Structure 1
Amino acid sequence: MPVTVTRTTITTTSSSASPTVLGSPRSLYQPLGLLRLLQLLSTCVAFSLVASVDAYVGFSGNWCMFAWCFCFAVTFIIIVVELGGLQARFPLSWRNFPITYACYAALFCLSASVIYPTTYVQFLGHGRTRDHAIAATAFSCIACVAYATEVAWTRARPGEITGYMATVPGLLKVVETFVACIIFAFISDPYLYKNKPALEWCVAVYAICFILAAVAILLNLFDCTNALPIPFPSFLSGLALLSVLFYASAMVLWPLYQFDERYGGVPERRRDSGCRSSHIQYVCGWDRRLAVAILTAINLLAYVADLVYSARLVFVRV
């Protein structure tokens, strides 16, 4: 019988134990433990600096504060679970959960590190509040690097048997869902697409692909990949192919109907009356449209890479 050799071998069934079980105070002094302490410290300092001067007004400020608090809380839970050796009692697969969370946390902190200074800090006057906000941004960047380092450290290596979320397609699922959430934030005002069937289709594409990718993540986190009526590898391949086709249509329709005058679009920012003034709590319509177009392109590339990598994986039932 011929043998097929691939770059990575993964498992899609349950394994409650972590590949690296800490379970003692000494484990905090191991490289991964020290990395998580850095994550805990940097996120704590970031939200503490901002909270001490009440420097989180509006959507952007609240989002950044949520990102830092959420990352701090979940990192604290992970440290407690590993110190207590409670991985087997944790409700989610410990092979998949830590790296899934680390990837989300890296994206959360990255978004906060970009959004906070560009939409909030630059509007602050010189003084104590601005200094605290700048320092919080620096610690947010440190946290982002720390979480990204954990992802790079714990991801699947060639020939390694590990959880699906530690593979490149698994991590791409995290990126896809996160980018979709950012898109939803930008299209939260229905006037951007209402009464235009082509744009409403784009919104449907974002929602459908987000749901499918989220289902794939949850099936792995809850070890329910065998609950599908079709083999999980087939589900992943079909999901990636369908999402590529859907996003390709959105990549054409969204810019066409938002920026082409022939289809009622606004080709230049200066023509949008709402973009003539800058405000700390407001992102104008034209900027929202452009952001969604860029994020659509990013997600399309992510789904294409997901499709390519998914076709090269071999799933081993353990």
Structure 2
Amino acid sequence: MPVFELSPRSLISLLGIVRFFEIFFACTAFSLVSVYHSYHGPSGNWCMFTWCFCFAVTVLIILAELVGVAQSLPISWQDFTSAFSMLAALMIFTTSVVYPSVFLAHGCSGTPCGYKGAATAMSILCFLAYAAEVGITRAKPGEVSGFLATVPGLLKVFEAYVACLIFSMIVIARYWAFPGLQWCVAVYSICFIVTLLIVILTVGRCLASLPFPLEKFLVGFNLLAVLMYATATFVWPIYSFRNQSRTADCNDGPCMWSYRLGVTFLTIFNLIAYIVDLVYSSKMVFVTTPA
């Protein structure tokens, strides 16, 4: 049974103050957008979901730490909060780019435009708040901490998130047209599944029960992911843009060509992330929380 014991100090700590800023900026962002219903379509719904989701989870985290139930939960609380802060920073950053590019790109005027601009500013400040939390909770050299608080752990969250962005684009990019593109999708899927399992097992305190050394597995997987993503980095653009040029309809908004270009850049980002991850996992010794 969880033990409830009030811990008001968690509210006045540096981390607690940063989380209050996260709540305030996220709440203000979606409130401003809601006034004139300045969101619609997949992009607008994504932005609204991101602000509301990050707001709600952060409130739950603060309440769990306030009543002292956080450490009684059957999960690694430090890994969970570290992973969430990284995920929230990435989601809010994406929203801070997507919202103005969709709802402010073609110009606007009047009061609704001011609300959209203010919501964008709040979203940017919210991203900075979550980025600050990532910096505060990140494990320092020689410090005993959960895996997801280390640089390789944070990179795992980044890699999984970028893969999710790739998945959101590849269907529109019509990957089934060529076997080479199908191979790239297989690369994204395999690496995403393994990376997500590592994050879930870490939060669930299951790493200690694995029948093999985690450090060696991470090095081996990261090396394999680098090799696989290296092939995708070359294969995807070759098959995507061969005899394909940018069409006139791309001037009016996203098109298949632009989605394929987006997947190309995201593939490069994840390749770089896995390379950095491989370097760190080869040099660091991780301290995990016993199950």
| TM-score class, shorter | over 0.9
Closer/same/farther in 2, CA of residues 105 and 23 from structure 1, 3 Å limit? farther
AA in 1 matched with 2:221 = L
Q: Distance in 1 between matches of 2:23 and 2:251?
A: 41
8 Å contact from structure 1 (residues 254, 293) kept in 2: yes
Aligned pairs for 1:1-318 (under 5 A) are 23-123=6-106, 125-189=108-172, 192-261=174-243, 266=244, 268-269=245-246, 272-278=247-253, 283-316=254-287
| Residues 274 and 285 in structure 1, CA contact (< 8 A), matched pair in contact too | no
TM-score normalized by structure 1?
0.86
Distance 1:218 1:40, change over 3 A: same
Q: What is the CA distance between 1:114 and its match in structure 2?
A: 0.4
Structure 1 residue 259 displacement after superposition: 1.6
Q: In structure 2, what residue type is equivalent to 1:274?
A: D
Quick one: percent identity of the two aligned structures?
A: 47
Residue 273 of structure 1: how far off its partner (Å): 4.5
Q: Is the 8 A contact 2:18 2:129 kept in 1?
A: yes
Q: State the AA in 2 paired with 1:185.
A: S
Instruction: Specify whether residues 48 and 254 from structure 1 end up closer, same or farther in structure 2 by C-alpha distance, changes over 3 A only.
Output: same
Alpha-carbon shift at residue 133 of structure 1 (Å): 1.2
CA distance in 2, matches of 1:26, 1:315: 29
Secondary structure of 1:125's match? coil
For residues 185-204 of structure 1, give each alpha carbon's deviation from its aligned partner in whole angstroms, at most 9, with x where no partner exists: 11122x62113100011011
Identify unmatched segments of 5+ residues in structure 1.
1-15, 17-21
User: Which deviations, in whole Å up to 9, do the C-alpha atoms of 1:168-188 show, x marking residues without a partner?
Assistant: 100000110111111111112
* Per-residue deviation, 1:87: 1.4
Structure 2 CA distance for aligned equivalents of residues 121 and 29 of structure 1 = 37
1:51 Cα offset (Å): 1.4
CA–CA separation in structure 2 for the residues paired with 1:25 and 1:55:
37
For residues 56 and 90 of structure 1, the distance between their equivalents in structure 2, rounded to whole angstroms, comes to: 37
1:6 is matched with none
Structure 1 counterpart of 2:286, which letter?
F
- Letter of the 2:282 counterpart: A
Alpha-carbon distance in structure 2 between the residues aligned to 1:124 and 1:90: 48
What is the deviation of 1:242? 1.2
In 2, Cα distance between equivalents of 1:84 and 1:145: 27
Q: 1:26 to 1:167 in 2, by over 3 A?
A: closer
String of CA shifts for 1:237-269, please: whole Å, max 9, x gaps. 1221111111001001001111232xxxx1x32
Residue identity in the other structure for 2:255: C
Aligned residue type for 1:180: A
CA–CA separation in structure 2 for the residues paired with 1:24 and 1:277: 54
- Quick one: structure 1 residues 60 and 205, their matched pair in 2 at CA, closer, same or farther if it must change by over 3 Å? same
1:87 & 1:25 partners in 2: Cα distance?
Answer: 13
Amino acid at match of 1:303: Y
In structure 1, what is the Cα distance between the partners aligned to 2:35 and 2:100?
17
Kept in 2, the 8 Å contact 1:216–1:236? The answer is: no
| AA at the equivalent of 1:62 | N
1:90 Cα deviation after fit = 2.4
Larger RCO (alpha carbons 8 Å, 6+ apart): 1
Distance, in Å, in 2 between the alignment partners of 1:114 and 1:35 is 22
Q: Provide the residue aligned with 1:9 in structure 2.
A: none
Shift of 1:316: 4.3
Deviation string 1:254-311 (CA, Å, 9 cap, x unpaired) is 01111232xxxx1x32xx2531423xxxx21111011100000000000000000001
